[in-house]
Every structure is written in structure tokens, then in C-alpha cells.
Amino acid sequence: MSPKTAIPSWKWWVVVMMLLATVVNYMDRQALGSMASFIKTDFHLNEEGYGTLEAVFGYTYAVFLIIAGFMADRWNLRWLYPVALLVWSAAGFATGFVETLFQLQVCRAILASGEAFNWPVAVGIIRRIVPREAQPFANGLFNSGMTFGAVLTPILVLSMVGPQGEGWRKVFIIVGAAGVIWVALWIMGTRGERAVEMSQPVHDLAAPVPFSQVFFMRTFWIALAVGTAVNMSWHFYRVWLPRHLVVDFRFTDQELQYLLIAFYLTADVGSIAIGFMVRKLVSPSRSVERARKIVLLFAALLCLLATPLLFNPGREIMVVLYCLVGAGIMGVFAMFYTFIQDISPAHTSKCLGLIGAFVWFINSRLHPLVGQYADTHSHAIGKFAPMILVAGVLPLLAALFALTWPEKSQPSEEDGTPHPGTNR
């Protein structure tokens, strides 16, 4: 039996719609980082204060990841998705009108509560409608919305924000309003049989596994280790790479926008291409699990390209290497989601929510400490260089953990669900 299954075109349309939702999600989120210098000036923040603002988002996001995970495994995903998107879009829109730091923090907290639903819902939908061998590509495709959004954000900043920060509020207003268009398209395009297949609960082929038993599965702890490593790596780059480029490499705020476009475009290519590699590598003689491990190790090795920073090769060279690191991190992300989808079909979103929350609690505690460290320390290679170097090594740890993933499961003839009992 060939391990590859034909996939109806409407399912790819759903994946593309989730990509667009993720674009809106990340534009709402990344606008803060792209305009950090202006926002810091308006609200009188140092690096530690900026890190604390990120922590407000992070702690709220972590709490609602858990809530989102449980809701996504129980509720109708067709409706849960647009409601969450309206919440975070409204918060992003309101950010354009804040006058005080407290108001800004409230908007970031509400933004986080809505955005937390994006990944548990999207990963749950892919688990329901896409066969296993195509899930890495589907995950990479929808998750590439992160980098598309991060590319579009600096383009908006360049076109709308003046050299002294004039007009930065308009960026939040426009991005927040874009979510309404997506909601209308989603509701119109997911009716009938599509809604039924997308929203129906997914169960194990064997007797249903109680959620409490998930914590006794080896695959859960492997996924936790992989998810912790790759999430910490990505969010260190997301939050602190812009500050590293401006403070350590002395790029201007306008130059920064172009550099972020290059970084996120390369990361986007990595997300899609590395996810697609798994589907190409799967064959009757090479299992889905083995193909994932090969691709994941390749992606993790790309992330080590940040290490030449130790030798000061020049800022232009390092920018190119950082772009390749971004591609590697996003490739690891695509593999991480496939591991989550294989733990237990009925608990996919809950597992993602719990693992994501664990990482976000850690990151939210670390961001103010990173800012404090940068305020009080300086190195020949830069204030933020130590964090960038550590973040580049973390995906390799993720790959090493992933090598222990069991390879006994095979696709079922009906829907690509692993045979029961193989992921314990």
C-alpha cells in the first residue's frame, strides 16, 4: 500500500485560510516589535520595561493556551476560530488609541487571550482533515503565516510611519480591521460537509484514551522537550533580534524593517519547504516518522549558523546567517506540530495548549531578565549576542529529543490515523 493519500482541494483551501488567519495574528503581534523604538520613547521604557511589556502578553497567552486547548478538543472549530480572531483583532485595533502604559498592557493582554486560540484550533483542524504523511507540509504551510505576517508588518511600518515614529498607531488600526474580512470569508467557505468534517471529534481507533493517561505516554514528554526548545528559540529571535540588529549592529530603525522582511521571508520558505520535504521522503521503505527525523535534523543544523557571531565576521554576513537560522527554526516548528498530532487524536489541541503554555510561562519570565541583562552588561560581540547564540543551539536539542520518537506506527487505510498503542 502506498503511504500517500489523495487530498481534496477544499482541504488545502482551509489550510490557506488558516495561513491567512496566522498572518493577521502575527501582524497584530509583531507590530509592537517592529515599532519598539517609537513605543519605548512614547511610553518612556528601557529594555527591561520593554521586556516586561512582552511578559504581559506572554503570561496571558500562556494561560489562554491551556483554555484554548481544552475548548478546541470539545467545541465546534468552525465557530471557535472566527470568534477568537474577532477578539484579538479588536484588541489590536484598540491599541491604536491607547494613551497610557496601563491601557497598552490591557490591550496586549486581550490580544494574547484571543491569539492563543490560533494554533490549538489550526493544528486540531489539520489533524482532522489531512492524512499523516501530508501533515508536516500542511503544518508548515499554515504556520508560514507567522513569517508572512512578520514580513507585511515592516512593509506597513515603512509606508505609514515617519522617521520619528509619526503614525505608528495607524498600523495597529489597519491590521486590527483586517480580521473582519477574514471572518466573512471563513464563514462563507466552510459550510456544509466541510464544516462537518472539520469540526467532528477525533478519536483513537482503539478504546478512547483518558486525558490523564497522556502524561504516561513517552511521546508526550518527547513533544514537550521538542516544543520547549523550538519555541524558546523562535521567540528569542522574534523579540530580541530587532533589538540586537539596532543596538549591537547599529542598523537604523528604517534599515531594520528591510532586514526583518528578509529574515521572515527566508523563514517562510523554510517553513513550507522543510515541511514539504517530509511528504517527498515518505516511501514504502521509509516511514513517516523516519522522514520527519531526517528533515528535523537538517533544519536544526541550519540553526547552528548563528555561531560565527563569536568571531565577528561582520554584520552583513551575520544578517544572511540569521535568515538561514530563521528558516531552520520554522522547519523545526512544522515537525513539532506533527508530533503533537500523533500523541493522541482526541487530545491534540489540549496537548499543544499545555506544552505551549509551559514554554510561554518560561519565556515571559525570561524576557524582562534579558532586557535587564542588556541594560547592565555589554560584550564585544554585543549586548544581545549571548541570547542569540543560545537560541541558535536550542533547535539541535529539539532534534536530539525527536530522534527517540517511536517508529512503529503506520498509516491506517481509512484516514492515516496511527494504529492504537504505538505511541505509549
More confident residue, 323 or 163: 323
| Residue 325 amino acid letter | V
pLDDT > 70: what percent of the chain?
A: 93
Average pLDDT, the chain: 86
On whether residue 416 sits in a domain, the answer given is no
Question: Does the pTM exceed 0.85?
Answer: no
- Which of 167-176, 182-191, 194-203 has the least mean pLDDT? 194-203
Tens-digit pLDDT profile for residues 112-154: 999 999 999 999 899 888 888 888 889 888 988 888 887 888 8
**Alpha carbons 411 and 400: distance in angstroms, whole number:** 24
What is the CB neighbour count within 10 angstroms for residue 36?
A: 21
Residues of the domain holding 255? 9-402
Can you give the pLDDT at residue 421? 39
pLDDT at 327 over 90: yes
Angle in degrees, 0-180, between the axes of helices 315-343 and 135-143, rounded to the nearest 10: 130
pLDDT at 408 over 80: no
Tens-digit pLDDT profile for residues 59-75: 999 999 999 999 988 88
Can you give the pLDDT at residue 205? 43
pLDDT at 413 over 60: no
pLDDT at 22 over 90: yes
On whether residue 210 sits in a domain, the answer given is yes
- Angle made by CA atoms 418, 422, 424, in degrees to the nearest 5: 125
Helix (H, G, I), strand (E, B) or coil at 286: strand
Buried b (16+ CB within 10 A) or exposed e, 373-386: bbeeeeeebbbbbb
On whether residue 409 sits in a domain, the answer given is no
On whether residue 3 sits in a domain, the answer given is no
Give the rounded distance of the alpha carbon of 139 from its chain centre. Answer: 10
CATH of residue 255's domain is 1.20.1250.20
On whether residue 421 sits in a domain, the answer given is no
The per-residue DSSP string of 96-113 comes to: TT--SHHHHHHHHHHHHH
Name, in order, each residue with C-beta under 8 angstroms of 81's C-beta and a sequence gap of 6 or more.
18, 21, 117, 118, 121, 122, 125, 186
On whether residue 273 sits in a domain, the answer given is yes
**Alpha carbons 164 and 153: distance in angstroms, whole number:** 17
Tens-digit pLDDT profile for residues 346-384: 888 899 999 999 988 888 888 888 888 888 877 777 888
Q: What is the count of structural domains for the chain?
A: 1
Can you give the pLDDT at residue 423? 43
pLDDT at 193 over 50: yes
pLDDT at 3 over 70: no
On whether residue 423 sits in a domain, the answer given is no
Can you give the pLDDT at residue 298? 95
How many secondary structure helices (H) and strands (E) does the chain include?
A: 16, 0
What stretches of 74-184 adopt beta strand conformation (E)? none
Question: Could you tell me the pLDDT band of residue 329, with boundaries at 50, 70 and 90?
Answer: very high
Question: Could you tell me the pLDDT band of residue 412, with boundaries at 50, 70 and 90?
Answer: very low
**Alpha carbons 66 and 80: distance in angstroms, whole number:** 15
Which of 233, 196, 256 is CA-nearest to residue 393? 233
On whether residue 237 sits in a domain, the answer given is yes
pLDDT at 420 over 90: no
Can you give the pLDDT at residue 118? 94
**Alpha carbons 36 and 174: distance in angstroms, whole number:** 18
